[in-house]
Structure formats: structure tokens, C-alpha cells
């Protein structure tokens, strides 16, 4: 009986301490302060384990498909650059103030499992700036983005810039442009006729 009583009292004391911590305003939510110590460990471990345990059942399509990569580029360039940067653009006005920081995917994407890239891009990460793109994009589009992100680490600034130009797409080095691919150049010529 005595043991139960002391366990109960300890739990109540812990609860009171938690409530004091929450209501006192002691914890600083400012994004200027980096998380460290035990709080950092708790948050990171919770996140890592949460993601790892949700990757089962995801099947990875062929990520070398050029039309997927080109489609993925458009989305990346529109939706991800402000936080994650691009070749030659490691920091932006948004990314500098983010806490937790948005990893520079040009550097880290190589090491991330495609299933994890897919899950994170689709579902986002709660209480960070990382949105759930699956609310507005089909799984197919998310895979296009993943296919592009996987190519990011091997891209130069010039190659990225070229893709940004209106007719720019990533080209297959082994294939000549007049093989297989339908010719789209004629459009731009026709557009000038009035």
C-alpha cells in the first residue's frame, strides 16, 4: 500500500511540474533558439522512428524515367526551392530563418531512401515548416518530385538553370534528340505567325 501511495504521489508531482513548465511560459518557442540537449533528442528520435515505421508497403517506381524527372523539376522549382535551395543556391531568405532548418537537398538527397523521400514529401513533418504535399498532389506527382530530387545532387548550377528556361528539359546523354522524342520545337516557330 505504501509503495502504491508513493508512486501515485510521484506521478502527481511530475504532472504538476509539467503543468508549471507549460503554463509558466518558461519554454521559448522563438525560432531564433536552436533546440538542444534532451529536447532535441526527444524530437529527432520521435520523428525518425515515426517515419521509419511507416515505410512498409511503399513500392518505388523506376526513378530514371526522364518525363518524370522533367515533371518533378517543375514542381520542385515552384514549391521546394524557397526552403530547400537548388544547385548554387544554398540559402534563401526563407531558409535562413527556418527552425528546424530545411536540409539542403542538393547535398543530402543522395543518402535518403526514395521511400523516405516519398513519405516525407507526401505527408510532411508536423511542427516543422515541412508541408504535406499529398493534400494537393497525387502519388504519381509526388514520385515525379522524388525522381527529380534524386537527380539534384549530380546537377550543376548551369544544368539547373537550363531546365528553368521555357524549353529546357533534362536530356538523356545516350539518346540523340531526334530519336523517339516527338519534336516540339516547331510550336515556338508557329507561335510567331499572326
Task: Name which of residues 122 to 141 contact ligand HEC (CB under 6 A).
Answer: 125, 128-131, 133
Number of residues that bind ligand HEC (CB under 6 A): 25
Secondary structure element (H or E) that encloses residue 12, with its range: helix 2-24
Question: By C-beta, is 59 or 136 nearer to ligand HEC?
Answer: 136
Contact present, 163 and 73 (Cβ < 8 Å) = yes
Among the listed ranges 3-11, 12-20, 30-38, 98-106, the one in contact with ligand HEC (CB under 6 A) is 98-106
Contact between 84 and ligand HEC by CB under 6 A: the answer reads yes
Identify any residues that bridge with 89 across adjacent strands, giving them in sequence order.
Answer: 86
Q: How far is residue 100 from each of residues 103, 128, 183, 186, measured CA to CA in Å?
A: 9, 6, 45, 47
Contact with ligand HEC (CB under 6 A): which of 117, 152, 163, 170? 117
Cα dihedral 16→44→73→154 (10° resolution): 160
Contact between 69 and ligand HEC by CB under 6 A: the answer reads no
Task: Give the 3-state secondary structure of residue 146.
Answer: helix
Contact between 155 and ligand HEC by CB under 6 A: the answer reads no
Question: By C-beta, is 63 or 130 nearer to ligand HEC?
Answer: 130
> From CA 150, how far away is CA 88, in angstroms rounded?
17
Contact with ligand HEC (CB under 6 A): which of 58, 66, 79, 89? 79
Three cell numbers at 7? Answer: 508512486
Contact between 80 and ligand HEC by CB under 6 A: the answer reads yes
b/e burial code for range 85-104 (CB count within 10 A of at least 16 → b): bbbeeeebeebeebebebeb
Residue with cell 537548388: 86
CB of 95 to ligand HEC, least distance (A): 8
Contact between 151 and ligand HEC by CB under 6 A: the answer reads no
Per CB under 6 A, residues contacting ligand HEC are 47, 75-76, 79-80, 82-84, 98, 100, 102-103, 108, 112, 117, 120-121, 125, 128-131, 133, 145, 149
Amino acid at each position: 500500500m505504501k509503495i502504491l501511495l508513493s508512486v501515485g504521489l510521484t506521478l502527481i508531482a511530475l504532472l504538476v511540474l509539467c503543468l508549471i513548465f507549460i503554463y509558466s511560459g518558461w519554454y521559448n518557442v522563438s525560432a531564433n533558439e536552436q533546440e538542444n540537449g534532451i529536447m532535441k533528442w526527444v524530437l529527432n528520435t520521435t520523428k525518425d522512428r515515426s517515419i521509419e515505421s511507416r515505410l512498409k508497403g511503399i513500392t518505388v517506381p523506376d526513378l530514371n524515367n526522364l518525363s518524370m524527372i522533367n515533371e518533378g523539376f517543375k514542381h520542385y522549382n515552384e514549391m521546394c526551392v524557397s526552403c530547400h535551395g537548388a544547385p548554387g543556391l544554398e540559402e534563401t531568405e526563407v531558409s535562413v530563418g527556418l527552425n528546424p532548418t530545411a536540409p539542403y537537398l542538393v547535398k543530402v538527397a543522395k543518402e535518403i531512401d526514395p521511400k523516405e523521400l516519398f513519405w516525407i514529401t507526401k505527408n510532411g513533418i508536423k511542427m516543422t515548416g515541412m508541408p504535406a504535399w499529398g493534400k494537393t498532389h497525387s502519388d504519381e506527382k509526388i514520385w515525379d518530385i522524388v525522381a527529380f530530387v534524386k537527380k539534384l545532387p549530380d546537377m550543376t548550377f548551369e544544368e539547373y538553370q537550363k531546365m528553368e528556361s521555357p524549353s529546357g528539359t533534362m536530356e538523356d546523354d545516350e539518346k540523340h534528340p531526334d530519336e523517339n522524342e516527338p519534336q516540339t520545337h516547331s510550336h515556338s516557330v508557329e507561335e510567331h505567325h499572326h
